[in-house]
Amino acid sequence: MTVRDTDIQQTPTTVRVRGTGDVDERALAYVRTKVDAVLGRSGLPPVSGEVRIEKAAAHHAGHPWTAGAEIRVGRDLLVVHAEEATAHELADRLHDRLRGQVERVVHRGDAARKSATPPPWRGGPADGRQE
């Protein structure tokens, strides 16, 4: 079993992309670019973690490529898993799932702080308008 480590270093971001098994450098590079596209944007809190890519040795497996990511964005821990038939599809699936998790974490605070205007019987505006 071969293990190769590749580090992505940015100012607030440290994400390690690691391949296990028969994972070539092109596949690791593509995963690296997809992960960097999600986590390299401005406005995110400090990001750190690891992405593991593995190709199964069994040729009869339907989805031999698997990925697991544990990434800390600020105080939140994101855990993302994906399985696909090719490395390219795996990187795209990982990108989509990771982007969804990051968006949820970034916008969670905004939604939690907003509250609806109380109805008139609870001290809200009497004319029915929301301010």
Please give the model's pTM, rounded to 2 decimal places.
Answer: 0.71
Residue 8 lies in a domain: yes
pLDDT digits (tens, 9 = 90+) for 83-115: 999 999 999 999 999 999 999 988 876 555 566
Cα–Cα distance, 39 to 95 (Å, whole number): 10
* Cα angle 35-36-39, degrees, rounded to a multiple of 5: 85
Residue 28 lies in a domain: yes
Residue 43 lies in a domain: yes
Number of domains in the chain: 1
β-bridge mates for residue 122, sequence order: none
The helix/strand count (H/E) of the chain reads as 2, 5
Rounded to the nearest integer, the mean pLDDT of the chain is 82
pLDDT digits (tens, 9 = 90+) for 25-53: 999 999 999 999 999 888 888 999 999 99
Whether 1 and 22 have beta carbons less than 8 Å apart is answered as no
Cα–Cα distance, 90 to 80 (Å, whole number): 12
Residue 92 lies in a domain: yes
pLDDT tops 90 at residue 12: no
Residue 127 lies in a domain: no
Higher pLDDT, 56 or 72: 72
Domain CATH for 23: 3.30.160.100
Residue 122 lies in a domain: no
Residue 125 lies in a domain: no
Where in the sequence is the domain holding 95, given as residue range(s)? 3-113
Residue 129 lies in a domain: no
Continuous segment of H or E residues that includes residue 105: helix 87-113
